[in-house]
Amino acid sequence: MGENVQIECIGELFGNGQIGLHKIKERHKINIHPKYASFQAIECQTEHKRGLMMLFQPTKIIDRNANNRTAICQDKKTKVIWFGFLDPQSNGKYNILDKSQSTGKTIGKLAENIQVSWSAEIKAAYYPNIYNI
């Protein structure tokens, strides 16, 4: 199996689909399987998933694998970091959709027709047992 490694939790997801980043000194580490050693985590603060850690590989590019998947991305203009279903548009911009995890149906649009500076697919999510500060 291998020993656990630690990765940083860099921010929190709030109920409006936006991610608030922690200041560097406020970041904490979590134990994780070694295959995720190069990843970072975002902690969910929404009431139905409080404490869920969503793992992604940090990037500075638009990851085409994140298209039509659950992802995080940054709006180039406003610098807001979004979490949601990344929906590419024919004009090169994106919609960020809120989708039901039960049915897959679109609940609404969190952001519409935005240009993204980077995007990353959520590769895994789990509830950790222990936080290491």
Q: Same domain, yes or no, for 114 and 127?
A: no
CA–CA gap between residue 110 and residue 54 (Å, rounded) = 19
Q: Same domain, yes or no, for 50 and 93?
A: no
Q: Same domain, yes or no, for 77 and 53?
A: no
Length of the chain as a residue count:
133
The half-sphere exposure of 39 on its side-chain side, counting CA atoms within 13 A, is 21
Residue type, 114: I
Q: Same domain, yes or no, for 73 and 33?
A: no
**How many domains are there within the chain?**
2
Per residue in 80-109, pLDDT tens? Answer: 999 999 999 999 999 999 998 788 899 999
Higher pLDDT, 12 or 101: 12
Range of the domain at 72: 64-119
**pLDDT higher than 90, residue 112:** yes
Q: Taking all residues of the chain, what is their mean pLDDT, rounded to a whole number?
A: 90
